[in-house]
Copies of this chain bind each other. A is one copy, B any other.
């Protein structure tokens, strides 16, 4: 690299489709995005083999060998302890050391979050990181009428204090501003009622703080029904509740298909319509498969980590790389810090 491009470190190992799809995603990026450089971290032999059979621009790709990796089923802390040279940890270290600007991984989520936590630094004012997820909604958001909302935390911080929830709100709003180009995103707190006094003490306290926060367009509490509706651009909750909600959303796609089958079996006059719809329903299912859309950012660190879905194919990986680059060039971390 003569002039320094934005470099994205890709953990090539550990996704559901092995190194090939991640390498293909980076190859796409090398052809499409002249300002990006992909640093591929993983088994060098497998990477070279994949590159050999994939069209790419070799000037925008480099390879860093890592002799081990964390598999999907492994327990993150034990796996990282056993394998200090696991690809996700090597990649995170390269980002922490400034060799790359952001990390993308389609592997074990917990291992990725842990690798980030061990090598990146929390931003001043952030006590706990959050895994944010972009998910499809019924309403458009921002100027571009983007049909996606952001929900965080979805699993990095299982128990969040009121202060954590406030930090999540600031981080989510900054991400929506920068990545979704939504200049003034609405931010809501998930609770069991819209009234400010509803919910457990941490939620009630966070509501009070957020209501007086000058830098946020806080719209108060929302309820579960508002998640698929997309009432707010950014939905804030703790990692336990957010994880349950996100996985429910993932389950909805399948449920729609099954309910349609149930209806199919129940009433003759629906059958033609349903038969015609089968391909449509499959696509609806994909629409509810949030992680097709650029992956889930881990927010709160000085460096960005984008967790792509384990099932990601090349296009999803390339998108994750583009989102990471956008966050880097827009100085997302600084925007978060200023918001706190």
Q: Looking at chain A, what size class is its interface with the partner chain?
A: 35 or more
Q: A264 vs B224: C-alpha distance in the bound complex, in angstroms?
A: 26
Q: Are B254 and A138 closer than 8 Å at their CB atoms?
A: yes
**B-contact bits for A187-228, CB 8 A (1 contact / 0 none):** 000111100000110010000000000000000000111111
| A277 CB-CB contact with B under 8 Å | yes
Main secondary structure of the interface of A (DSSP, over half): helix
Q: Are A192 and B240 closer than 8 Å at their CB atoms?
A: yes
A245-264 at interface with B (beta carbon < 8 Å): 245-252, 254-256, 258-260, 262-263
Q: A254 vs B190: C-alpha distance in the bound complex, in angstroms?
A: 19
Q: Which residues of B contact A246 (CB under 8 A)?
A: 224
Q: A336 vs B89: C-alpha distance in the bound complex, in angstroms?
A: 50
Q: Which residues of B contact A260 (CB under 8 A)?
A: 280, 284
Q: Are A263 and B280 closer than 8 Å at their CB atoms?
A: yes
Q: A272 vs B272: C-alpha distance in the bound complex, in angstroms?
A: 9
**B-contact bits for A282-293, CB 8 A (1 contact / 0 none):** 011001100000
Q: Which residues of B contact A223 (CB under 8 A)?
A: 243-244, 247
| A274 CB-CB contact with B under 8 Å | yes
Q: Which residues of B contact A199 (CB under 8 A)?
A: 158, 240
Q: Are B224 and A259 closer than 8 Å at their CB atoms?
A: no
Q: Are A228 and B251 closer than 8 Å at their CB atoms?
A: yes
Q: A200-B240, A228-B255, A269-B276 are known contacts; what are 19 more A-B pairs with Cβ within 8 Å?
A: A138-B258, A158-B192, A192-B240, A193-B243, A203-B240, A223-B243, A224-B243, A224-B250, A225-B247, A225-B251, A226-B251, A237-B244, A244-B245, A248-B249, A252-B252, A259-B287, A273-B273, A273-B277, A277-B277
A–B Cβ pairs within 8 angstroms, 12 of them:
A138-B258, A155-B192, A224-B244, A227-B251, A228-B248, A229-B255, A245-B248, A262-B287, A269-B276, A270-B277, A273-B280, A274-B280
